[in-house]
Amino acid sequence: MDGNRRFAWDLSIGREIGHRQGKEKLKEVMDWVLDLGIPHLTVYALSTENLSSRDSDELESLFDLYVSGLNEISDDERIHSSGVKVRVVGRTDELPSRVNRAIDRAQDRTSSYSNFTFTVCLAYGGREEIVDAVKGIAADHASGNLALERIDTAEISKRLYDAEIPDPDLVIRTSGEERVSNFLLWQIAYSELYFTDVHWPSFSKADLYDAIETYQMRRRRYGE
């Protein structure tokens, strides 16, 4: 969901307004995804790099947005009526306690649902996720609980932050950047990538449909 700050700069408004507009856009996109019956939506909200590169005032403003957004999700009637399970993945221990309380509330209130899964990547990095998975494998191998010949791609996949989520079919990146920026590096090995110049707060239903139509026209080869 890239381009909140650039959206704000283009309009000569504060970056915190850009982030708020981005939050409201996510609510719209979730509605569109539910209407289309797409069972899994995963969004990249905050990277591990952001935790060190953003200034403290911006981070605190973002943390407040995450709290309010997660609390809104917890109470959203459509989330409950549609059976949306909410998951937050990443190194969440690096986030403030108020954010973790909101995470726990959203996850607890939707844990029994299975129709849709909405996953938010917070304090997330694809390389870090793989490192954490490998650490678990190394520890189990060192203790004698995991034989060397059992270590394969499936073993790594099931140790990722949320192994129940299938690998993405389509990755959409907004705001003109054509790179994956440490997002789901293991999982997107065979995903289709779609890049658009539109800043995230300006992302429209037509933009979403264009991305899906482009995906549908591609022939997926899975490395063949």
Distances (CA, A) of 178 to 15, 88, 197, 212: 22, 25, 9, 17
List 31, 35, 50, 169, catalytic entry? 50
For the question of residue 2 being annotated catalytic, the response is yes
The backbone torsions φ and ψ at residue 42, rounded to the nearest 5 degrees and listed phi first, read -120, 130
| Listed residue (177, 207, 216, 210) closest to 195, CA to CA | 177
Separation between Cα atoms, residue 51 and residue 59, nearest integer Å: 7
Separation between Cα atoms, residue 61 and residue 49, nearest integer Å: 17
Distances (CA, A) of 134 to 69, 130, 141, 153, 158: 32, 6, 10, 11, 11
**Any idea which residue has 């997660």 for tokens?**
70
Do 21 and 7 form a contact (C-beta atoms < 8 A)? yes
For the question of residue 152 being annotated catalytic, the response is no
In this structure, how many other beta carbons lie within 10 angstroms of the beta carbon of residue 25?
Answer: 21
In this structure, how many other beta carbons lie within 10 angstroms of the beta carbon of residue 71?
Answer: 14
In three-state secondary structure terms, 119 is strand
Catalytic residues: 2, 50
